[in-house]
Each structure stands twice: as structure tokens, then as C-alpha cells.
A and B are shown apart, each in its own frame.
Chain A
Amino acid sequence: MSELRETRKEKILSILEKNSVPILFTVFCALGIPLSGYSYGYLGQEIVVRIARNSFLIIALLVPIMAGMGLNFGMTLGAMAGQIGLIFIADWGIVGIPGMILAMIISTPISAFLGWLCGKILNMAKGREMVTSYIIGFFINGVYQLIVLYGMGSVIPIKNPALVLPRGYGIRNTVNLISIRKVLDNLLAIKIFGISIPVATLLVIAALCFFIIWFRKTKLGQDMRAVGQDLEVARAAGIKVEHTRIVSVVLSTILAGYGMIVYLQNIGTLNTYNSHMQIGMFSIAALLVGGATVNRASIGNVFLGVSLFHLMFIVSPTAGKNLIGEAQLGEYFRVFVSYGVITIALVLYEVRKRRDLTRAGRLLAQDQADEVEAKQ
């Protein structure tokens, strides 16, 4: 069978369609920037900050996609584990880089356990991983609230009264992370063209990127890619499919926990009961804006996605205010867009799968037409 012959118009359309989400966002941003009236210096600074803040979390999503498990909404589990680590170091008063590292160490076993649990459940729900992991996120959120709201200060000793609710147990709605605020960002920070660049944070992210690249080349990474393409073929080749899938979720959850710590050291305050719930959705939306799909995502998608998604975040409230006189509209727009992007990306994924099927049909029709022609 030969290649499908397409007109140039069809080819251009298919390229546009494949990259429709990033193109749409580029257009949005291009329109929004002049409307918002921000200077390029300001926008550049903001984007650098957001890249440093969010990239680690988004890279954590790459591993399950590699293993064919789709977008890991269960990354909120890791975020919760990271937050628990941060609450402890805030209580113990451990400051600076050692504090961050200790928080990571505390989060690791919790993330690993939650990731293992999540992986076990996802193995029972093959083909429905995304919705299942989304709901597991809500379930574990309940457990998290039970521990943080009732357990801490009563069963789990918390000494620092600034952390505890006035009633004597439970953690306050916001925890001040002054002890580790921007410690990583300010380490080795330099200024280029008036933009301050958090070199240490970017180095950590670069190291993570190299880890992902290296990981793809290991036996485990190879197995994950095989499992991601076809469970049955991988199984027939003797790869332990279930185990590989669990490892991918565990790894993603642990990385998400570290990512959350990096994220919160930049923000400087912890929203005890909200931070983790938003972060999953925003990370996934950013990755999709970068052109990733449910079954394919690269490091390039991460950085393009963070830049475009957050550029729109920064620009839209002011653009909304200048255009209609309502900052609220821009705020509304943010949330609307994040959910919208996820929905569109999921729909496009299904549409594309179906279109690939009809391509096979068109090839067949083309072959037949060729044969008729050859006979004449």
C-alpha cells in the first residue's frame, strides 16, 4: 500500500490541526499583550519566574504519559505529601536549603506509598486511568484533611502555636513558609537585562530534564514506552506490565511532591487546604497548551506550555480590565480557559484517533481507484 496522497491544503490543515492548541494560545497572547499595556521587561521577568516555579511539577507528568497512562491527575497526591513535609519543617523551624531537603526527604515515603496505592487502583481500571486518578485525588484529599485538620496538633505533635488553629489542633488555613521562602531562587540569582534569573532553580530543573532523558534510555524507560504503546505486545514479550505501570505512577508522584516544594518555596506561603487541588489542573492545562496529547508529551511541550499558559494568565486580567473595565472578567477567564483547554485536548485526542481510522479507509479507496485507472 502506498502513501496517502493529500493535497497541499489538506497537509497544511492537518499540521494546523495537530498544533491547534499552541497556535490558539499564541494568538490569544499576541492579542492580549498590547491590550494589557505591560512592558516586555515585566512580562519577561514574570515568565522566568513562572518557568522556575512550575516546570518541575509539569515534568513530573511526563513519566505516566510515557507508560501510556495518560495525564496523571493523581499528581495532587504527591503535592499533598510535599505539603506535609513543609508543615513539619515549618514546625521544627529548619530553615534554608537544609529545610527544603528535609521536606523532600519526609515527602518521599508518603508519595511513594500514595503512588503505589494509586498505581494499584489504576491497574484495575485500565483504559480509564485519567478519570480514576482524578477521583483518587479527591479521595486522598479527604484523608489529607483528616490528618491535617484533626490529626495534627492532637495525635501528631505540632509545637509551633503559629501553625495551629486557635482551637488547639489542626493546621491554620495558611502556613507562612518564611523559613524557606525563595531560598533556592535566591541562591546564585543573577540579573541579565534587568531580569533576575534564579539560576539554582533552573539548574535543578535542568538536572531533572537530564534525568528524564537518561531515564528514557534505561531498561525501565524502554519497558515503559513499550507498555505505553501496547499492553498485550509488551506482556507477550515478558515485560511485567502491571509492575512497570505502578513504578511509573510512584515515580511521578514522588517527583510531584518535590515539584510542590520547589513551587511553594517560590510562593512563600502554603494554602493548606487549597494549594494542592489547583496545582494538578494548572499543570495539566499548561502541558496541554504546550502541544502535548494524552499519549505523547516531551520536555519541549513543558517549557512552551508554561510560557504560553502563564503569559495568558498574566495578561488576561489587565487586558480584560482595559477592554471591558472589569478585572474580574480576566480572573474568570483564567479558570474557564484551564478547564476549557483540558476538555478541548481530550476531545481532540479522540477525534484524531477516529480520523486515523478513516485514513486507513481512504488509503483503501485510493488503492482501488489506482487499480481501476491502471486497467483502463
Chain B
Amino acid sequence: MAHTGVPILELRDISKEYFGNKVLTDVSFSLHSGEILGLVGENGAGKSTLMNILFGMEVIQQTGGYAGEMLVAGQTVRYQSSFDAIADGIGMVHQEFSLLPDFSVAENILLNREPHTRSFVSEVFGDRLDSIDRKTLVSKAETAIGKLGVSIDSSTPVGTMPVGHKQFTEIARELSKDSIRILVLDEPTAVLTEQEAAILLKAVKKLSDEGIAIIFISHRLQEVVDVCDTVVVLRDGKVVHNEPAAGLTIEQIARWMVGRDVDQSRTHRAFDYAQAPPVLTIENLWVDMPGETVRDVSLAVHKGEILGIGGLAGQGKLGIPNGAMGLFPAGGKVVFEGEEIALNNPKNFLDAGMAFVSEDRRGVGLLLDESLDWNISFAAMQVRGKYLKRYLNGMLQWRDEKSIQETARHYIDALQIKCTSSKQKAKELSGGNQQKICCAKAFALEPRLLFVSEPTRGIDIGAKSLVLQALRDYNEKSGTTIVMISSELEELRAICDRIAIVTDGRIAGILPANHPSEDFGLLMVASPKGATEVTA
């Protein structure tokens, strides 16, 4: 599609730093009325940050604003809040629904923009006592739904509807705003079934025909190729490709997304996992973790290996360790060293000889207000009864401060944790050092299998490699089997023996880590059902 005239949206050299960490570098592209632009990229490529800037989210101003220029219909804009962006005709449909479950579809669509009629009471007491005009409300909502070309009963409470209809309701809310010119759809099909997704894509086409410009963010590349006019690929905060969608293949885009200059210094070790006996088998596991639902996962982990679990955010990779440990409601069968572990109780998991370094470092991982030695030793003390002096046949148990100190010192040296002393409070350390404390805590349990979830999230590059090295060393020295969950594929490829990719709550495939990145990229964006043909 050829576009002429002033673009409705133009980004010029947009850059953004979070605390010295550059997340966007000179991002430029333009969007015309009626154009559908597909924005793709891995997690952390900068898509969300870019959309936050476009939508004037407060987080951008709070962290020092952005560099570069943004033009809407030829006018330079710099939004102070999302309400400015809305007033300018920008609509955004977020991944998480912001709908009120007990309100009807119509009420949700026109939330806080309900048509109202004046009465003598409101003449006296002000606008807010106007009666709501239900008839106009319903007809306005139905017009908006009509624009999408779908049929939804506008009087149904949203809470009882299937997710697909919720997604349509969200979009209809944006469409009901008369001024809407640019619509951002963030992963609109992620929660939909294939049929629902097909209907949604048709609706998106219809909207673009009516002249609304659409930014379509999706990791389902087939959809992007099918529906978009232009594809912009972001990688590490830069636009690496900006091309017309016609003629592009999924493989090409997947390679652009993940292919970066890989640090080849760490060699892939030769580890024959097939010879090692399975130490942990998971069968038909489901986990109800909000935003990370796991469905029917079966997996075998071999003794001594480092197994990576990767996948895009929200696909369920985090649910696997959290469910196995019992932190979220789960079902299925987990067998460790020949014994079945009863789910839904963390104590069983720990007693069996496993440990978990949570991705929620500050919430689950650390006692923020306590000293480092405490943080390192408390789990081992609770679960294994270590660092305790026993009197009177164990009736009286006393903390053994000396051995706590020794252990703390040992790990602080071994992991090169930067701190003033082992008595420093955990909250005073930097993210990377906090992560090392979390690892030390798990190591002190002397587990035979260790789950590590997002070990490098939110820490800088130098600390990343130290943490990864510590994990690899621990695995090699003590023979502990490690299951590492991470959003960063390259990090998994660097230290793991095999990598499982989770898509849509299921294992999309397991490949040896030395396979090229593209293969993993393809698994990540695989269509939800029946995509295991690439298994090693």
C-alpha cells in the first residue's frame, strides 16, 4: 500500500534510558492513516517502553522523559499523561484487561463517558447527579461493537464472557471515542483461540479500511504477515528492519528478532544428558498462576544437566517452577528421585531435596530488612535443621551463630558479593548482589535439584555473567541438576545443555542449546496447537 501526505504518527530518533540503561536508541518510523504496522521483537526489545512513550504514561516522566521527537498529524507532541494522548485520538488496548466484571459490555465500553441527562436535582447538586441515559448508552456501545463487525450482546456482564469477547469489548471501548485516529493493540490475540483470533484480525482490517491507523504488536508472526502493511522489528532497543510486510516470511522475521551478535566466548559443553538417568519427571502439570498459566506440561530432567526453559513473557514458563514448588494451585504428577511429590505445599518440595530461586527476588526471595547472614541461612535452618545447636536431646534448639557466620562468609567470598559486612541489610544491596544472596540461600540448602527463575532479571551485564558463572560452577562442582527459567534466549544458550520453549502454557519443543537461535525463535512464535514437530 502506498501512502502519501503527512503521516498520522511520526517518531524521530526516540531514545530512552532507565537509570543509565539504554532501552531505546534512535527509534524512527512513521504511520499513515489506515495503515497497519506490525511491531515485533523479543521481550525486552523495547516495545512496551515505546508504547509507554506514545501513550504518555507517567512512568516515562518519572524516569526522566525521553529524547527525540514525536509528531501526531504533523504536530510535535509531548504528552504529560495518558489523558493527553487519549484526547489526541490515541487508543491503546493493553494485554491485561481493564474491565469491570460486574458491569455490562455497554457500561464497560462507555466507562466514565456515559451519556447523561440533566434533571432538577443535578441543576442544584451538580453534574454528577445526572441520570445516566441507558438507551443512548446501549446504542452508542452497539455502534462501537458494530464497527468491529462482531456480534456481542451489550447487556451481558463482562465477567461471564469468554476472553475473546472481553478483548472485543476493550477494542470497542477505544472505538467508541469519536476522536480515535491511532489504535495500539498490544498482543490482542495472545489469549484468543484460533477462531476468535481470525475474527479479530478481520475486524482489524475493517478498522484500517475506515482510516484508523493501527499499531499491531504480536508474537504470532503469521498474523503479522497476514494482516500488516508494514513490519518494524525492534531488537535491543533499535529498529533493525522496517519493511513492507508483503513477501516477508516468518523465518525471516524470527531471525531478525533473535539474531544478535552472540558472545561466543563460552563454549557449549559436551554433556550427554541422554546417558544420565532422569532425576525429575513432570507429567501433565497444570498451574494456575495468574498471567503464567501452564497447561499439560510433561518434562523429564536428567541428572547433572542444566535444562533451560525459555519462551516469551506470559506464556507460562514461570508457572512451571512456581507450580512444582507449590506456590500456586497446581495439579498433575511430579516425581523426584523415584518419589512422587505432593503438590501445593512448598514444604514437600523442599524436603525432597529441591530448591527454588524465585524470580520475585524482593517478594519471595529475600527478607529485605534482615542481615545477609540471616538471609543466607534461614531457609536451610528451617528446612534442613542446619546451623542449630541441640540440647536435651533436641528438645531445646539454639541458633549456632558461629556456623551461620562461617557459611555467610564462605558464600560472600565464593560469589564475590559486594557488601560492607555479613550484617548489612539485604535491601541495601544492588540487584545483582541481591540475586547472589538468593543463590547463596538456595546453595546453603544443598539441593540435589535447583530451580532458578529469571536469575538475571533487572541486573546489569557485568553482574549477569557473574551470576551465570556461579550457577555453572555450582552445577559442575557439586553435580546439582539445575533447571533455569529465563526470558533471555542467549543467556540460556550460553549455559544450558538443552532448552525447552514454552508457548501458550505448553512445551512447544526441546532442543539442544547449540541449535541456532532461529529454531528457538520459531518455537516461541509457533501457533498454539500441535507445534511439536521441531523436537530434537
Where the two chains meet, the residues of A that have a C-beta atom closer than 8 Å to any C-beta of B are: 1, 214, 217-220, 222-223, 225-226, 229-230, 232-234, 236-239, 357-358, 360-361, 364-365, 367-368, 371-372
Contacts and interface: CB of A to CB of B under 8 A. Distances in A.
A368 B332 CA distance: 10
Contacts of B98: 230, 232-233, 236-237
Interface in B278-300: 284, 286, 288, 293, 295-296
B44 to A, nearest CB: 25
B398 interface: no
B132 A361 contact: no
A219 B101 CA distance: 18
Given A218-B129, A229-B103, A361 B331 contact: yes
A361 B296 contact: no
Contacts of A239: 111-112
B327 to A, nearest CB: 13
B129 A220 contact: yes
Given A236-B82, A360-B288, 20 more contacts: A1-B163, A214-B131, A217-B131, A218-B116, A218-B128, A218-B130, A219-B130, A219-B132, A220-B129, A222-B114, A226-B100, A230-B100, A234-B100, A237-B98, A238-B112, A239-B111, A357-B329, A364-B295, A364-B331, A368-B286
Interface of B: 82-83, 98-103, 107, 111-114, 116, 122, 127-132, 134, 162-163, 284, 286, 288, 293, 295-296, 329-331
Contacts of A226: 100, 103, 111-112
Given A229-B103, A233-B98, A233-B99, A218 B112 contact: no
Nearest to B290: A360
Contacts of B329: 357-358, 360-361
B293 A219 contact: no
20 contacts: A1-B163, A217-B134, A218-B116, A218-B130, A219-B114, A219-B127, A223-B128, A225-B102, A226-B100, A226-B111, A237-B111, A237-B112, A238-B112, A239-B111, A357-B329, A358-B329, A364-B286, A364-B288, A368-B295, A372-B296
Contact of A238 (B83, B100, B102, B163): B83
Q: Is the interface of B mostly helix, strand, loop or mixed?
A: mixed
B132 A218 contact: yes
Contacts of B101: 229
For the complex of A and B, the 6 pairs showing the least CB-CB separation, nearest first, are A361-B329, A237-B112, A361-B288, A220-B128, A229-B100, A237-B111
Nearest to B107: A222
A229 to B, nearest CB: 4
A219 B296 contact: no
A368 B331 CA distance: 10
B382 to A, nearest CB: 25
B295 A367 contact: yes
Nearest to B134: A217
Contacts of B134: 217
A218 B102 contact: no
A368 B129 CA distance: 49
B112 A371 contact: no
Contacts of A364: 286, 288, 293, 295, 331
**Residue of B83, B129, B134, B293 with most chain A CB atoms under a 10 A cut-off:** B129
B255 to A, nearest CB: 32
B501 to A, nearest CB: 20
Contact of A371 (B111, B131, B288, B296): B296
A239 B114 CA distance: 12
Nearest to B329: A361
Nearest to A232: B98
Given A218-B129, A357-B329, A225 B103 contact: yes
B319 to A, nearest CB: 11
A365 B127 CA distance: 49
Contacts of B116: 218-219
Contacts of A220: 128-129
A131 to B, nearest CB: 24
B114 A365 contact: no
B114 to A, nearest CB: 6
Contacts of B113: 237
Nearest to A1: B162
Contacts of B331: 361, 364-365, 368
Nearest to B101: A229
**Residue of A225, A234, A367, A368 with most chain B CB atoms under a 10 A cut-off:** A368
Contacts of B286: 361, 364-365, 368
Contacts of A357: 288, 329
B295 A219 contact: no
A372 B506 CA distance: 14
A223 B288 contact: no
A218 B131 contact: yes
B128 A219 contact: yes
Contacts of A222: 107, 114, 132
B369 to A, nearest CB: 21
Nearest to A357: B329
**Residue of A1, A232, A357, A364 with most chain B CB atoms under a 10 A cut-off:** A364
Contacts of B296: 368, 371-372
A372 B129 CA distance: 55
A365 B333 CA distance: 12
A223 B102 CA distance: 13
